[in-house]
Amino acid sequence: MISNEEVLRRMKIKESVLYSSIVKQKLAFAGHVLCGSSGDNAVQILEGKLDGKIAQGRPRRMWINDIKDWTNLDSYASIKRAAEDRFNWRTCTRMACRPSTTEDDS
Protein backbone atom coordinates (compact mmCIF):
# COMPACT_ATOMS: atom_id res chain seq x y z
CA MET A 1 0.00 0.00 0.00
CA ILE A 2 1.37 3.40 -0.95
CA SER A 3 0.96 6.29 1.49
CA ASN A 4 -0.33 9.72 0.50
CA GLU A 5 3.11 11.18 1.18
CA GLU A 6 4.67 8.70 -1.24
CA VAL A 7 2.16 9.61 -3.98
CA LEU A 8 2.91 13.32 -3.53
CA ARG A 9 6.65 12.63 -3.55
CA ARG A 10 6.41 10.64 -6.77
CA MET A 11 4.36 13.41 -8.36
CA LYS A 12 6.92 15.94 -7.06
CA ILE A 13 4.21 18.01 -5.41
CA LYS A 14 5.09 19.83 -2.22
CA GLU A 15 3.12 19.15 0.94
CA SER A 16 -0.17 20.93 1.17
CA VAL A 17 -0.66 23.79 3.58
CA LEU A 18 -3.57 21.93 5.15
CA TYR A 19 -1.46 18.86 5.90
CA SER A 20 1.30 21.00 7.46
CA SER A 21 -1.28 22.80 9.58
CA ILE A 22 -2.72 19.51 10.84
CA VAL A 23 0.75 18.21 11.72
CA LYS A 24 1.57 21.42 13.59
CA GLN A 25 -1.68 21.37 15.56
CA LYS A 26 -1.41 17.66 16.45
CA LEU A 27 2.17 18.14 17.65
CA ALA A 28 1.20 21.18 19.72
CA PHE A 29 -1.69 19.29 21.33
CA ALA A 30 0.47 16.22 21.98
CA GLY A 31 3.12 18.41 23.63
CA HIS A 32 0.47 20.03 25.82
CA VAL A 33 -0.93 16.65 26.88
CA LEU A 34 2.40 14.85 27.33
CA CYS A 35 3.94 17.55 29.50
CA GLY A 36 1.19 16.77 32.01
CA SER A 37 -0.70 20.06 32.07
CA SER A 38 -4.02 18.58 30.94
CA GLY A 39 -4.42 15.74 33.42
CA ASP A 40 -4.11 11.97 33.47
CA ASN A 41 -7.26 11.25 31.47
CA ALA A 42 -5.96 13.09 28.41
CA VAL A 43 -2.64 11.22 28.61
CA GLN A 44 -4.45 7.86 28.77
CA ILE A 45 -6.55 8.79 25.74
CA LEU A 46 -3.50 9.90 23.77
CA GLU A 47 -1.65 6.70 24.69
CA GLY A 48 -4.67 4.59 23.73
CA LYS A 49 -4.85 2.88 27.12
CA LEU A 50 -8.60 2.78 27.62
CA ASP A 51 -10.61 -0.07 29.08
CA GLY A 52 -13.35 -1.57 26.99
CA LYS A 53 -14.05 -3.89 24.14
CA ILE A 54 -11.34 -4.68 21.64
CA ALA A 55 -12.51 -3.59 18.21
CA GLN A 56 -12.48 -6.06 15.36
CA GLY A 57 -10.84 -5.43 12.03
CA ARG A 58 -7.88 -3.28 11.16
CA PRO A 59 -6.26 -1.60 14.17
CA ARG A 60 -6.95 2.11 14.45
CA ARG A 61 -4.21 4.55 13.68
CA MET A 62 -2.58 5.73 16.91
CA TRP A 63 -1.57 9.33 17.55
CA ILE A 64 1.68 8.32 19.16
CA ASN A 65 2.78 6.57 15.96
CA ASP A 66 2.18 9.78 13.99
CA ILE A 67 4.21 11.73 16.55
CA LYS A 68 7.05 9.17 16.27
CA ASP A 69 7.06 9.46 12.49
CA TRP A 70 6.98 13.26 12.39
CA THR A 71 9.57 13.90 15.10
CA ASN A 72 11.90 11.01 14.19
CA LEU A 73 12.00 10.00 17.85
CA ASP A 74 12.15 6.25 18.32
CA SER A 75 10.24 5.57 21.52
CA TYR A 76 7.39 6.86 23.64
CA ALA A 77 9.83 7.61 26.48
CA SER A 78 11.95 9.88 24.27
CA ILE A 79 8.82 11.69 23.03
CA LYS A 80 7.61 12.18 26.62
CA ARG A 81 11.02 13.53 27.72
CA ALA A 82 11.12 15.91 24.76
CA ALA A 83 7.58 17.17 25.52
CA GLU A 84 8.45 17.82 29.17
CA ASP A 85 11.17 20.24 28.05
CA ARG A 86 9.32 23.07 26.32
CA PHE A 87 12.31 24.35 24.33
CA ASN A 88 13.22 20.85 23.12
CA TRP A 89 9.62 20.13 22.10
CA ARG A 90 9.35 23.38 20.14
CA THR A 91 12.56 22.47 18.33
CA CYS A 92 11.14 19.04 17.45
CA THR A 93 7.88 20.63 16.29
CA ARG A 94 9.65 23.15 14.08
CA MET A 95 11.82 20.43 12.54
CA ALA A 96 8.75 18.27 11.82
CA CYS A 97 6.74 21.14 10.33
CA ARG A 98 9.37 22.61 8.06
CA PRO A 99 8.96 21.87 4.37
CA SER A 100 11.12 19.10 2.98
CA THR A 101 13.95 20.30 0.77
CA THR A 102 15.05 16.95 -0.63
CA GLU A 103 14.15 16.27 -4.24
CA ASP A 104 14.33 12.80 -5.71
CA ASP A 105 15.33 12.80 -9.37
CA SER A 106 14.34 9.20 -10.05
**Is the pLDDT assigned to residue 100 strictly greater than 60?**
no
Number of other residues whose CB lies within 10 A of the CB of residue 62: 12
> Which of 20-24, 28-32, 69-73, 98-102 has the lowest average pLDDT?
98-102
Domain boundaries in the chain?
17-49+58-97
CA distance 46 to 64: 7
- Give the pLDDT confidence score for residue 105 in this predicted structure: 42
Over range 37-66, report the average pLDDT: 72
- Give the pLDDT confidence score for residue 106 in this predicted structure: 42
- Give the pLDDT confidence score for residue 104 in this predicted structure: 45
More reliable by pLDDT, 61 or 10: 10
- What's the pLDDT tens digit per position in 58-97? 877 777 888 888 888 888 788 888 888 888 888 888 877 7
20 SS3 class: helix
